[in-house]
Structure 1
Amino acid sequence: MDVKKIRIADYNYSLPDERIAKHPLEKRDQSKLLVYKNNQISSDIFKNIDTYLPNKSLLILNNTRVVRARLKFTKATGANIEIFLIEPVEPSDYTLSFSSKAKVTWKCIVGNIKRWKSDDLQLKISGTSTTLTAKMLRKLSEGAEVEFSWNDSSLTFAEIIELCGKVPIPPYLNRDSEEIDSYRYQTIYAQPEGSVAAPTAGLHFTDEVFKKLKGKGIEPSFVTLHVGAGTFKPVTAETIDGHKMHTEHFFVDIKMVEKLWISNEKVTCVGTTTLRTVESIYWLGVKAAMGLLGSNFFVGQWEPYELDAVIKPKDAFKALYDYMRDKGLEALSASTQIIIAPGYTIKSCDILITNFHQPRSTLLLLVAAAVGESWKSIYQYALENDFRFLSYGDSSILFVNK
């Protein structure tokens, strides 16, 4: 299959608005669970996920934390300007940016940008004497670079946006964020701040679920990929070679790479972002084995399809582990633009836990890469059996076709 010539129209389906979950369920683990295994489809509820995972299997989750990335300013004229944080520019490191007590620059999407000329925008933080100032440095092809400063040096940028930002719930919910979103649009194991969208497959996990998994010898392991707004970007090109995949930043420590190398157990990835991260780690390992890694820890959109290498996952992970050990690196800060679509062979994952995704999306392409043409019967089953779709929707456990 020529992956680049895949027609996005072939990965479309009818999704009625009433099937989109607008709010979360009262209890996280009460979501429905679609089970796809050996080309058979059945259903259960998520709290029983432990019964489907092999004993002592390697469970990998994305522990990124969603930040209050939507900032709403009002000009003196009354015009509303919404600034949506995308990724840090100066400092470019997420941790340094969020811990800054001076000023920071971010790449942003700006709503009503035509109404924002050269004037600075100010946002008075309710209940305090603190004011956040936004200055547009330059317009970009998509969005703008915006410098943020504030008049209270005791507060970090993370604290500032926690005080005045809004939870960036998905645009297709067609509603303003509510108090419930502040904790339900966040996994219970979220740690490093940086995402503008939740790794939603993980929203179903509870302490009770983790306790049951521990009883089967399954302990959670973590990678970090900061989910960008590009995850909602529809594919508008006729074929996917015309679609520019968004870049996302991820982090992995040497202990996680070692686990991937030495484990002989089945690997379960929780969410498309986790799968994207682990596959990208594999390709960094391939580049390390080929002597191509250097200091540029980046996986390009089409690079996996173009690298002339047949390297087993364990060999790739060992090569990356050796590289990190030799360079004295406890962790890698990297980025990926990889697009996983039908025709791509998933190397590192045996089982995928994921929600139900939008039609004509790169996330649906990833699911189709995992289960082949069965994606159609999976989604048809979900539609016919009252499953809830998208971020606050129900879950599925898909055994990858290999």
Structure 2
Amino acid sequence: MTRPRGEGATGEYRWALPSVLLGDGRDGRRVHRSTRDWIVDIVMFLLASGLTLVTLPEIQDEPEPLIALEQVMGALACIGVWLRRRWPVGLAVVTAVFSAFLELVGGASVVALFTVAVHRPFKISGPVVLLSLVTLAPYIMLRPPDDMSPGAAAVLTSAIVLTAFAWGIVIRARRQLVWSLRQQAATAAEDAKRLERERIAREMHDVLAHRISMLSLHAGALEFRSDAPPDEIARTAGAIRTNAHQALQDLREVIGVLRHTGSGEEDPVPDRPQPTLADLPALVEECRQAGMDVRLDLRAEDAPEGLGRNLYRIVQEALTNARKHAGGAPVEVAVDGERGKGLSAEVRNPLATRHAPRIPGAGAGLIGLTERAELAGGRLEHGATPAGEFVVRAWLPWPVETTREGS
């Protein structure tokens, strides 16, 4: 769906609604009518023709040349109604001028004025309706009615013109509202897709960073301990294979989800089981098998799924950072909290004593953790302490009443 030229999705309408909504040729370009447009145009043509036929008896007493001119111009004006989408303003101005002294052009003039009110903003349609009202004066002077006073005739004809104009304004306002709602719905859908992709990106960074750091740790062990016993080498190689397989599986799943979110399908892709707070001991045990010295103090095990998943990811990323930047140093993980007071986690480890080469993407994980905590309504702090430790502290709100998802 196109936007008005020079404006954003929520800006003012520079000319009119998109031609796809109005069936408007715009600036004389060819009109592409839908079935509904054809029906409306036929009705408008019949309306103009009907009004012309109704006023036909009014010219019976006129001279023959004037009657012939009236009939020709009335027929041409009715035929011109088919051009109302392509040249609405031009048709309205021409018919308004001719209706100042011709009777049978009045029906087409009313239809043309209605079209301008629908297809053009007030800064254009306003002067056109003003012109139509001005031409009523010479019309009443040249064709004074026999059954009413000139004042009553002026009021009646003005009411007809203003009614047609007001009707067009109402239809235009309704179409603007519909178009605006469609634009808002499209923008909301795009925002939802963007937020979903950002969420997937955060999840994949946490998961893949953990898996790849495990691969790096095991590969480093093989590199520096080439004389290790065969069974230890086989165990380390098996751990590398397992983590590589899991990383590939995670990558395939996220690619599938990203393709799905970009395909416009409505059926949701079922998510794989997500980790919760109860999975923290398994995560710590996996790190221990990789050679890390991790101590876990878990004092909150009944947290809601969404809340526990967020805290799990924070602890997972903090362990990944400790493994990358302070390999071999002992790590302490403390998780505590209760309903109504919040859920907190603290991960601390001694600072690295040797300068390690900078790992690609270093620092992005902490930024992602901060964003995750803030999106959950909590906070996250990290940094070195005077005691020579690096600490990551996170706090997430735990409402008194939570849903099953908890977020």
Please classify the TM superposition score into its range, dividing by the shorter chain length.
Answer: under 0.3
> If the length of structure 2 is used for normalisation, what is the TM-score?
0.19
Structure with a larger share of its residues in strand: 1
Structure with a larger share of its residues in helix: 2
Larger radius of gyration: 2
> If the length of structure 1 is used for normalisation, what is the TM-score?
0.19
